[in-house]
Amino acid sequence: MPVGSGPVSRSRRAGVVFTWLILSSWLAACGGAPGVGASPGGRTTAAHQDVASAAIPPAATPPAATPPTTTAPSTAATTEAVFAVQVAPVDAMQVASTWRPGCPVGPGDLRMLHLSYWGFDGTAHTGTLVVGATVVGAVTTIFRTLFDDRFPIAKMQPEDAYGGSDPASMADDNTSGFNCRLAVTTGSPQWSVHAYGEAIDVNPVENPYIEGGEVQPPSGAAFTDRSVVRPGMAVPGGPLVAAFAAVGWQWGGRWAGSPDYQHFSATGG
């Protein structure tokens, strides 16, 4: 009989079939052959994991957060003008046009003050006054007050800049102090308080001197109506009159017969 055609061959074939059935059942229970396919329960084999990894790119790493930029507020440097004063001695050369031998005080009795003041242009300036040494403190206080009040002053320089001419200084609207000259009066000759360095004329154009109907300086005629108050004027209760009164100085504007609106003095004369 041919090999494998007898009862023995049939039993072997039956054994092989039985073994194959057992093996198939075991593979089905374990999810299929290793490395191939997916199990009925949805678990992914190694081969499917590789395919899935290739199909879905890895998530990009987000960039590092940039901290917000904080800009400090810009602060513009503002320089506010402050009052300043410098006091210096005076020699004869500095008062060559306003002093001479025989005057009631000598150059050594005078002081030159460099003072801050506000101009009509709204800016701070430095002016120069020559005054008596005994009134330096009072004059400094007066002009510090005027500076704080922003009271406007047209110009401030010694009368030596005008050759000692009081009319020229007044016409230039110059605020001045010392000048060894006689008082403007109809009585007997006497020294002006300016000759002692104890009087100051402020803004002569805005504050003219009126004597016998004559206005000095002539350009001050526009300011003879004192009811119309304008910058730089001396008026009762105003900042200029108040600043001098605070240190005991008196105002020539109180003179009824010949008001001298520009004139302030320590003695009242």
Q: pLDDT, tens digit, for every residue of 7-27?
A: 444 444 444 334 444 444 444
Instruction: Please give the pLDDT value at position 52.
Output: 39
Stated as kind and residue range, the H or E segment containing 209 is strand 209-211
Mean pLDDT of 54-80: 46
pLDDT band at residue 114, thresholds of 50, 70 and 90?
very high
Cα 110 to Cα 198: distance, rounded to the nearest angstrom = 10
Amino acid at 236: P
- Determine what percent of the chain is predicted with pLDDT higher than 70: 70
Q: Which amino acid is at 251?
A: W
Enumerate the domain spans of the chain. 85-265
- Rounded to the nearest 5 percent, the helix, strand and coil shares of the chain are 30, 20, 50
Cross-strand partners of 115: 85, 127
Q: In sequence order, what E strands does 124-182 have?
A: 124-132, 155-156, 174-175
Could you tell me the pTM of the whole model? 0.71
Q: Distance (Å, rounded) from C-alpha 93 to C-alpha 96?
A: 5
Q: Does residue 217 have a cis peptide bond before it, meaning omega lies within 30 degrees of 0?
A: yes
- What is the gyration radius of the CA atoms in the chain, in angstroms? 54
Give residue 4's pLDDT band: very low, low, confident or very high (50, 70, 90). Answer: very low
Write the pLDDT tens digit of every residue in 218-246. Answer: 999 999 999 999 999 999 999 999 999 99
